[in-house]
Chain A
Amino acid sequence: MKACLRVCTAASCRSRGGASLQHSLSEAVARAGLEHGLRVKGVGCLGPCSDGPLLAMDADPKAQTQLYGSIPVADGAQLVASLMEAAAQHTLAHWCPAGGLRIDLNHPFFQLQRRLVLEHCGQIDPTSIEEALAAGAYRQLERVLQNNNPAAVIEQVRRSGLRGRGGAGYPTGLKWAAVAQMPGTEKVVVCNADEGDPGAFMDRTVLEGDPHTVLEGMAIAAHTVGASRGLIYVRAEYPLAIARLRTAIAAAQGHGWLGTAIAGSRCNFDVELRVGAGAYVCGEETALMQSIEGKRGMPRPRPPYPAERGVFGLPTLINNVETFANLPALLRLGLETYGRGTKVFSLTGHVRRSGVIEVPMGTSLRTVVETMGGGTPAGRSIKAVQTGGPSGGCVPAHQLDTPVDYESLQSLGTIMGSGGMVVMDDTTDMVDIARFFMAFSREESCGKCVPCRAGTVQLDNLLEQILDRRATPEDLEQLESLCRMVKDTSLCGLGQGAPRPVLSTLRHFRDDYLALVPVETRR
């Protein structure tokens, strides 16, 4: 028998014992002397985190790949023994580890995905550059370097319609063109891996599962815009992603995919890691650059845009993890096959199956939440789906047929954001949710501009009053007008976005607010 057991060792499954499972399986295989037939490897996210720890089995000769969840971690030896017995009796196709459950890979959760960014995530061992290379890593970089036609790459990125996946959705091709046009040879490429939106973990998944795709995307960008220095700013809350990145950067340097004269070309590109220290505002690009320079992470007005004056005063291209990870797929597939591309989402909250999915751009929210995620647990109905984190809003249940794209979500008063999707059932109090996000923004405001520093405090106080049933209809009016003021006059995305959870819940769930205003105060 020849087979490979892929154990998810990404952060979520790891917290459910994934790493110990890998260890105990490897040990059992070694003790039984089966290393030549049965391979055990740790991989990145396999998708349905709520069923973790997850284990995939690829049997050879080509039986269908199977996925198992809720695997009891303790006894690897027993699992391996039962697997060998099933193989001997040719019943592998029906095998399931004792105590675990078999996950149907024909379920829409898997079938409706289109994995471009996450293509190798869960397939390869993220600590092995050999596996990444065998799966095709750095091949697009090699091609780009051979062709040596940066203008053509920019044109392809522009025509693909790729937009920034970090939240703001700025057209990537335009950004690249702006940096490429800047004179001088000293330019910087920065990867924003400061994924701070609570409930969002797409970038963590990519970094933990397939770091080389991100490095390849950065190197392609560097060659295209003429940069020789790269920086990845990653949040300290992701220790595993940091470790995987360090390993990947060292391996890529060792194999000549980073460093000087990459693949025999004239392209030089070094990548350095910078770890944050817990400040949400550092996800904002100008604050992030300050933080890279060793300062307080305070945003500054734009222009000058980073393309003109970025890190250390140099022209800087700054993109999000997922944006860079799109590049190899886009260049490999070409415009037509790439189409509108995909978006990675992290699905959480009151939903049966939570985890990470990648779907074609324009898939409806209902498809994602109900068909793929299985809707809410029994007996409850969906009230809203929150997208875009503390700068986003809530989509009410009756508008779930909205396609997930930049424009449609914006017209509903929310944003695509980075891809966190939190499902809320009918027990959720939307005023409490608005307050939750406002408290978050209040705490994370850097304090530089008055509308955000003072406005978030006032808004938080007003929401507290409403929740304590001490508010009048006038307070609701003041809440709304103050929201607009903070939105229109704040310096950066944090302040401009902070009122959005309130405005969107006022728009779609006004009754939740009105129910909290004492009757005697209403005229």
Chain B
Amino acid sequence: MAESYPELEPVLQRHEHRADGLIEVLNRAQELYRHLTPPLLRHIARQLHLPFSRVQGTASFYHLFRFSPPARHRCLVCTGTACHVKGAASLLAALQREPLNTWGIELGSVRCIGTCSGAPLVVVDQQVWNQQSCASVLSGLRELRP
């Protein structure tokens, strides 16, 4: 039996189930369900009258769509130019050596959020932490709710 996704109905209706609403629908679906599962993508394909391959192909093209559940916390190291010249690469490498996943933290990177005066910065659960070092990020991460 097909799973149902009633929360998705408003955005589907706003776009009148038209194919050009696909990215808006995917954005909303990820917001609601945290990641895009195959049944969810199939549901969207049916609702927008699109082949599954088109939905899957589009979703996989864009960096922000994810297909596995997120960890409890997310730490994104900004790897934009200003952060790079202030040492973001070594910050990211240092954090990669830490067992963050065992603390329920997913480590990733983001290409510039446009607040470069705080470089090097990290974004933790959508909060921006400015002028960070590996030590300061780690001590901040330890404070997070496990």
State the A residues within 8 Å of B (CB): 11-12, 14-16, 49-50, 52, 195-201, 204, 236-239, 274-280, 291-297, 312, 346, 348-350, 354-355, 386, 389, 420, 422, 424, 428, 433, 436-437, 440, 446
Given contacts A199-B116, A280-B111, A294-B23, contact A15 B64 (CB under 8 A): no
Would you mind naming 25 contact pairs between A and B with Cβ atoms under 8 Å apart?
A11-B115, A15-B121, A52-B117, A195-B114, A196-B111, A196-B112, A197-B112, A199-B80, A239-B126, A294-B19, A294-B21, A294-B58, A297-B61, A346-B114, A348-B82, A348-B116, A348-B117, A348-B119, A349-B82, A349-B119, A354-B117, A433-B84, A433-B85, A436-B81, A437-B81
The residues of B that contact A292 with a CB separation of less than 8 Å are 20
Q: Which of A16, A294, A350, A386 has the most CB of B within 10 A?
A: A294
Q: In the complex, how many angstroms separate the beta carbon of A219 from the nearest chain B beta carbon?
A: 23
Q: Which residues of A contact B64 (CB under 8 A)?
A: 236, 277-278
User: How near does chain A come to B43, taking the closest CB pair, in angstroms?
Assistant: 16
Q: Does B114 lie within 8 Å of A277, measured CB to CB? A: no
Task: Assess whether B32 is interfacial by the CB under 8 Å rule.
Answer: no
CB-CB < 8 A to A348: which residues of B? 81-82, 116-117, 119
B145 at interface by CB-CB < 8 Å: no
By the criterion CB–CB under 8 Å, are B62 and A279 in contact? Answer: yes
Inter-chain contact A275/B115, CB cutoff 8 Å? no
Let me know if B7 is at the binding interface, CB within 8 A.
no
Q: B117-133: which residues lie under 8 A (CB-CB) from chain A?
A: 117-119, 121, 126-130
Residue in A closest to B118 when the chains form the complex, CB atoms = A15
Which of B63, B115, B121, B129 contacts A201 (CB under 8 A)?
B115
Shortest Cβ distance from residue B141 to the other chain A in the assembled complex, whole angstroms: 17
A274 engages B114 (CB within 8 Å):
no
Contact of A236 (CB < 8 Å), options: B27, B48, B117: B27
A436:B113 contact, CB within 8 angstroms: no
- Bound together, the chains give a CA A256 to CA B112 distance in angstroms of 36
Q: How far is the CA of A50 from the CA of B19 in the complex (A)?
A: 44
A239 partner residues in chain B, CB cutoff 8 A: 126
Return the contact of A16 from the options B48, B118, B126 (Cβ within 8 A): B118
Measured CA separation A123–B117 after assembly (Å): 21
Known: A16-B130, A236-B64, A279-B63. A346 touches B81 (CB 8 A): no
In the complex, what residue of chain A is closest to B30 when comparing beta carbons?
A: A277
Report the separation of the CA atoms of residues A15 and B122 in the bound assembly, to the nearest whole angstrom.
11
CA distance A243 to B19 in the complex (A): 25
Choice from A12, A276, A389 contacting B117 with Cβ under 8 Å: A12
In whole angstroms, what is the CA distance A428 to B115 when docked? 21
0/1 string, B64-104, CB within 8 A of A gives 1: 11000000000000011110111001000000000000000
The 3 closest A-B pairs by CB, nearest first: A201-B114, A198-B80, A294-B22
Nearest-Cβ distance from residue A357 to partner chain B, whole angstroms: 13
B14 and chain A: residue at smallest CB distance:
A272
A422 nearest CB neighbor, chain B only: B81
On whether the beta carbons of A15 and B112 are closer than 8 Å, the reply is no
Chain A residue with the shortest CB-CB distance to B126:
A239
Q: Residues of B contacting A16 with CB < 8 Å? A: 118, 130
Q: Bound state CA distance, A498 and B63, in angstroms?
A: 19
B24 within 8 A of A: yes
Residue interface mask B9-37, A partner, CB < 8 A = 1: 00000000001111110110000000000
Complex-state Cα separation, A350 to B83, whole angstroms: 10
Q: Is the CB of A293 within 8 A of B20?
A: yes
* Residues on the A chain within 8 Å of B86, using CB: 349-350
Structural contact, B115 and A49, CB atoms closer than 8 A: yes
* Closest residue of B by beta carbon distance from A11: B115
Q: Which residues of B contact A295 (CB under 8 A)?
A: 22, 54, 58
B16 to chain A, nearest CB (A): 12
A387 to B84, CA, bound (A): 15
In Å, the complex CA distance between A200 and B81 comes to 9
In whole angstroms, how far apart are the Cα atoms of A436 and B57 in the complex? 28
Instruction: Flag if A349 contacts B81 (CB, 8 Å).
Output: yes
In the bound complex, CA of A354 to CA of B89 (Å)? 21
- B11 smallest CB distance to A (angstroms): 12
Is A296 in contact with B58, judged by CB distance below 8 angstroms? yes
A277 touches B118 (CB 8 A): no
Asked whether B110 is an interface residue with its Cβ less than 8 Å from the other chain, the reply is yes
| A278 surroundings in chain B (CB, below 8 A) | 62-64
Given contacts A195-B114, A198-B112, A199-B80, contact A422 B63 (CB under 8 A): no
Question: Are B27's CB and A424's CB within 8 A?
Answer: no
A354 touches B116 (CB 8 A): yes
Q: Among the listed B19, B22, B115, which residue makes an inter-chain contact with A15, where contact means beta carbons less than 8 Å apart?
A: B115
Q: In the docked arrangement, what's the CA distance between A43 and B48, Å? A: 40
| Among B20, B80, B85, contact of A294 (Cβ-Cβ < 8 Å) | B20
What distance in Å separates the Cβ of A442 from its nearest Cβ neighbour in chain B?
13
Q: A12-B117, A52-B117, A198-B111 are in contact. Are A428 and B20 (CB under 8 A)?
A: no
**B46 CB, nearest partner CB in chain A, Å:** 15
Residues of chain A lying within 8 A (CB to CB) of residue B62: 276-279, 297
Q: Let me know if B116 and A346 touch, CB within 8 A.
A: yes
Closest residue of chain A to B61, judged by CB? A296
Q: Please, which residues of chain B bring their CB within 8 A of the CB of A50?
A: 117
Chain B positions within 8 Å of A437 at CB level: 81
Contact, CB under 8 Å: B82 / A422: yes
How near does chain A come to B89, taking the closest CB pair, in angstroms? Answer: 8
Q: Within the complex, what minimum Cβ distance (angstroms) separates A172 from chain B?
A: 24
Distance, CA A49 to CA B119, complexed state (A): 11
How many Å from the CB of A520 to the closest CB on chain B? Answer: 29
A412 to B6, CA, bound (A): 57
Q: Is the CB of A312 within 8 A of B20?
A: yes
Whether the pair B82, A198 counts as a contact (CB closer than 8 A) is yes
Residue of B nearest to A202 (CB): B114
In angstroms, Cα B117 to Cα A196, docked, is 17
- Residues from chain B with Cβ under 8 Å of A197 in the complex: 112
Return B6 CB to nearest CB of chain A, in Å. Answer: 22
Closest beta carbon of chain B to A6's beta carbon, Å? 19
B80 CB, min distance to chain A CBs, angstroms: 3
A420 to B22, CA, bound (A): 31
Residues of B within 8 A of A428 (CB): 85
